[in-house]
Structure 1
Amino acid sequence: MKTMVMTAAALALSAGMALAEGMVHKVAVHVNENDPKVMNIALNNVQNLTKYYESQGDTVKVEVVTYGPGLNMLIAGTSPVAERIAMMSLEMDNLSFAACGNTHRNMSAKKGEEIALLDEARIVPSGVVRLIELQEDGFAYVKP
């Protein structure tokens, strides 16, 4: 019984210390539309939630996952939000961008050459699978 009380006290103390240090939030943002308005809403969501959680003393890790027509958000030379992504990536070390490898491969095959992506993007095997993995890892899901 004494051990249980001590364990409970230790857990309560560690939980209190975690709250004092701030929570870590994880958010997956899903973009699958080739619409500059949707892309900008997604980036607004990222900026707003980062600002909010930081004002609370918390931290947040955000991954924007693109696939299908949404991959256009990350295509070099044509992305309507390329400059904004570059600026945000410089300012926010909590932000990453995932490009669906299936979509990238299909778009590249259709074009007859590999499509270049923004430097900020990294290719994942599948955008849908990446969203599942992130949610299984405790990421909240946001679809603008």
Structure 2
Amino acid sequence: MRTIMTLAIVAMISGFGVVAAAAEEAMHRLAIHVDQNDPAVMNLALNNAQNVKQFYAAKGETVAIEIVAYGPGLEMYVAERSPVSDRISAMSLESPEIVFTACGNTHQALNKKEGREVPLLSEIVEVPSGVVRLMELQGEGYAYVRP
């Protein structure tokens, strides 16, 4: 178990290194906040990300986009029941400038509530706190959108 936790921490840190490097090179930065278990809101967040990416790509400019989910919005990333899992998988492959992050606090609470480890989609990067992550992103100059 300790080895698994160590590997998870190393993967998380290396993932953030890649994310941070890509974000530093981007001309524009956008943080999208999802805190509702509503497929319409989830799809709107994904549409916003795609539209922003396409807008700047058409201008030959780069953008870093991070979609942060917490609270009821974490259902967007739960492997067994995400209503947008197919879109997230496709977007993750097609758009490396879009990063999907999940609140670790919410995930831990969900694990406790369900009495088991609730798996998240493989494309998701878990952060300790979704709210803190949004604060950090805004401090790094990210524009903030809550659909």
TM range (shorter): 0.7 to 0.9
Pairing 1:96–2:72 present = no
Give unmatched runs, 5+ long, in structure 1. 1-22
2:122 matched to 1:119?
Answer: yes
Amino acid at match of 2:86: E
Mapping 1:14-33, distance limit 5 Å:
24-33=27-36
Is residue 2:137 matched to residue 1:130? Answer: no
Q: Which runs of 4+ in 1 moved over 4 A?
A: none
Quote the offset at 1:56 in angstroms.
1.0
Q: Secondary structure at the match of 1:78?
A: coil
Q: Give the number of equivalent residue pairs.
A: 122
In 2: Cα distance, 1:93 partner to 1:131 partner: 19
Q: What is the TM-score normalised by the length of structure 2?
A: 0.82
**Structure 2 residue aligned with 1:41:** 44
Between the aligned residues of both structures, percent identity stands at 55
Secondary structure at 1:27 match in 2: strand
Mapped to 2, the partners of 1:101 and 1:112 lie a distance apart of: 16
Instruction: Quote the RMSD (CA, aligned, Å).
Output: 0.8
Alignment partners' CA distance in 2, 1:96 and 1:74: 12
TM-score (norm 1): 0.83
* Pairwise CA distance, 1:77: 1.4
Greater C-alpha radius of gyration: 1
Letter in 2 for 1:123: E
Q: Find the residue that maps to 1:96 and give its secondary structure.
A: strand
The one-letter code sitting in structure 2 at the alignment partner of 1:138 is G
Matches within 5 A, 1:5-20: none
